[in-house]
Homo-oligomer: A and B are copies of this chain.
């Protein structure tokens, strides 16, 4: 995807001055530290590094802030004081994602030999059933602040639905771009919210290139691409996973987290969120380890971790875990850094292990995960078996999506125990009458 730097912007930035996004103070380059005013930018004018949000957080008594959060709504807006959103965000029409269940997974723990406490952070409970609702909800607020009237993205699945739903509820136009040959189910999920959906004759890479072209063209004025020119805001949505996990653990850091890797952004923002909670005094500082999880068929970060490299070599994805199938993950180097710094690791599992893990989680905890959840549970199992994840500690495993969206992954191996005639003899013969 072409990088559009601040200095290249030819038209005046909407909302450059006077943008009110709560504690967000500026954009800051993750590479060189350059600061820029808040605007719809994603790359540093000086070094082309990725921009992220710099905050002026409220000072004061952490106990008061905790109380304020706990008295807030049952969604991500309870953390509005820590997010790049206006203070009155909860009163605006929004799909209100977040505060999803942290499932204490005692039966799974027993199967995996975990003697500490094991939890599944289950983001299938979000409005469109994936963590994408979190990031899109933040992008909507940025789009409003910058005066954008069309919400857009390129997508192959979860993101299209999340953008369509969020735009519908916010009263924004949406125009989403997808490869033209997506499965009908995914097309329906993306189109049902009534925004424009445009099929592009080409691959997902072609879709991305086209979107970059559109942003640079006058046609794209007034368009907010959630994961391009709104990316610094959008990405912050993943911090809320860290906030919720700690609050749901009773305002404590977990010892170990297992997080899926697609672009790697989510993992880096979870780490950022944990560090913010410590800095604000909302949780007590202690060491924690972050483990990244990939599918073997798209494991460039895992490969680099194992090889001891700092650079991630792109791959061509070939896995059932399509929501993680990014062959050239932008935040890969940052993920490597975090895994190494915290004493975690990056590991991968095969497609067969992903399917097994989906079924294991469903059978033990009644949680039907997307393939990405199969990746994290599968990697957790592997790390425990290899003695690299401590089974006596508190571990949180992320499930970022819903099994209903990836039925094909388990369908070939999931069916009835028996087919019988409607009588007791036939049932007895089936051997299930215990």
Contact = CB atoms under 8 A, between A and B. Distances in A.
Interface of A: 74, 93, 95-96, 99, 101, 104, 106-107, 125, 127-129, 161, 164-169, 171, 173, 175, 178, 180, 184-185, 187-189, 191-194, 196-202, 206-207, 209-210, 213-214, 217, 219, 358-359, 362-368, 402-405, 407, 410-411, 414-424, 427-428, 430, 432-434
Contact of A188 (B169, B185, B410): B410
A288 B210 CA distance: 54
Contacts of A165: 362, 366-368
A334 to B, nearest CB: 30
A195 to B, nearest CB: 8
B419 A214 contact: no
Contact of A196 (B196, B414, B422, B432): B432
26 contacts: A93-B106, A101-B127, A129-B129, A164-B366, A165-B366, A165-B367, A166-B366, A168-B363, A168-B366, A169-B364, A180-B419, A184-B411, A187-B415, A191-B415, A191-B416, A192-B359, A193-B362, A193-B366, A196-B432, A198-B430, A199-B416, A200-B421, A201-B419, A213-B424, A219-B424, A404-B405
B168 A364 contact: yes
A158 to B, nearest CB: 12
Q: How many copies does the complex hold?
A: 2
A217 B358 CA distance: 36
Contact of A107 (B107, B171, B419): B171
A107 B167 CA distance: 12
B368 A416 contact: no
A74 B199 CA distance: 40
Given A178-B416, A189-B407, A404-B404, 17 more contacts: A95-B366, A168-B365, A169-B365, A173-B434, A180-B419, A185-B411, A187-B416, A188-B410, A189-B404, A192-B414, A193-B366, A198-B418, A199-B416, A201-B421, A202-B421, A210-B427, A213-B424
A379 to B, nearest CB: 20
Nearest to A75: B101
A404 B158 CA distance: 12
A417 B197 contact: yes
Contacts of A197: 415-417
Given A363-B168, A427-B214, A433-B219, A420 B201 contact: yes
B185 A368 contact: no
A206 to B, nearest CB: 4
A419 B93 contact: no
Given A129-B404, A210-B423, A219-B424, A194 B95 contact: no
Contacts of A178: 416
B187 A366 contact: no
A219 B428 contact: yes
A193 B363 CA distance: 4
Listed from nearest, the 10 A-B pairs whose CB atoms lie closest are A194-B363, A165-B366, A169-B366, A199-B419, A168-B366, A210-B422, A196-B417, A199-B416, A206-B422, A219-B433
A309 B191 CA distance: 43
Contact of A419 (B198, B359, B365): B198
Contact of A420 (B192, B198, B427): B198
A377 to B, nearest CB: 14
Contacts of A127: 101, 125, 366-367
A75 to B, nearest CB: 9
Contacts of A434: 173
Nearest to A411: B188
Contacts of A202: 421-422
Nearest to A126: B125
A424 B217 CA distance: 9
